[in-house]
Amino acid sequence: MSTKKVNVTFQPVNVTVEAEEGTSILNIALEHDIHIDHNCGGNCACTTCHVIIKKGMENLSELEDEESDMLDKAKGLTLTSRLGCQALVYGDVVVEIPKK
Ligand code: FES
């Protein structure tokens, strides 16, 4: 059985890549040489991997308390903000990487 593929579009670079469902936004970006900072190495202990979901919020894993607490500290927080290393993708999404 093959794993379901999903499409992830990164902005502002405007690159769409295919990924296996259940992969984190951060890992998908890194696999395709798209730069997202990840100072804590994807351990939900920083906010540098903060991204804003433009489309497909419902296609991500649920926001956990730990991620939510950390996100509160992110600069430029929006209603559709997530931590790239914690949000797993289960359908097509459009992700904006905020400027630092
Ligand atoms: S890389 Fe630090 S919280 Fe995601």
In this prediction, residue 15 carries a pLDDT of 98
Q: Ligand 1 pocket test: which of 27, 37, 40 has the largest number of ligand atoms within 8 Å of its C-beta?
A: 40
Q: Ligand 1 pocket test: which of 27, 36, 39 has the largest number of ligand atoms within 8 Å of its C-beta?
A: 39
Beta carbon of 17 within 6 Å of any ligand 1 atom: no
Domain-wise residue ranges, the chain: 5-96
Q: Taking 70 as the threshold, does the pLDDT of residue 1 lie above it?
A: no
pLDDT tens per residue across span 2-41: 789 999 999 999 999 999 999 999 999 999 999 999 999 9
Average pLDDT over every residue of 83-99: 97
What burial letters (b/e) apply to 39-50, b meaning 16+ CB within 10 Å? eeebebebbbbb
Query: In Å, how far from its chain's centre is CA 6?
Result: 13
* CATH number assigned to the domain with residue range 5-96, chosen from the 4 options 3.80.30.20, 3.40.430.10, 3.40.50.150, 3.10.20.30: 3.10.20.30
pLDDT tens per residue across span 36-90: 999 999 999 999 999 999 999 999 999 999 999 999 999 999 999 999 999 999 9
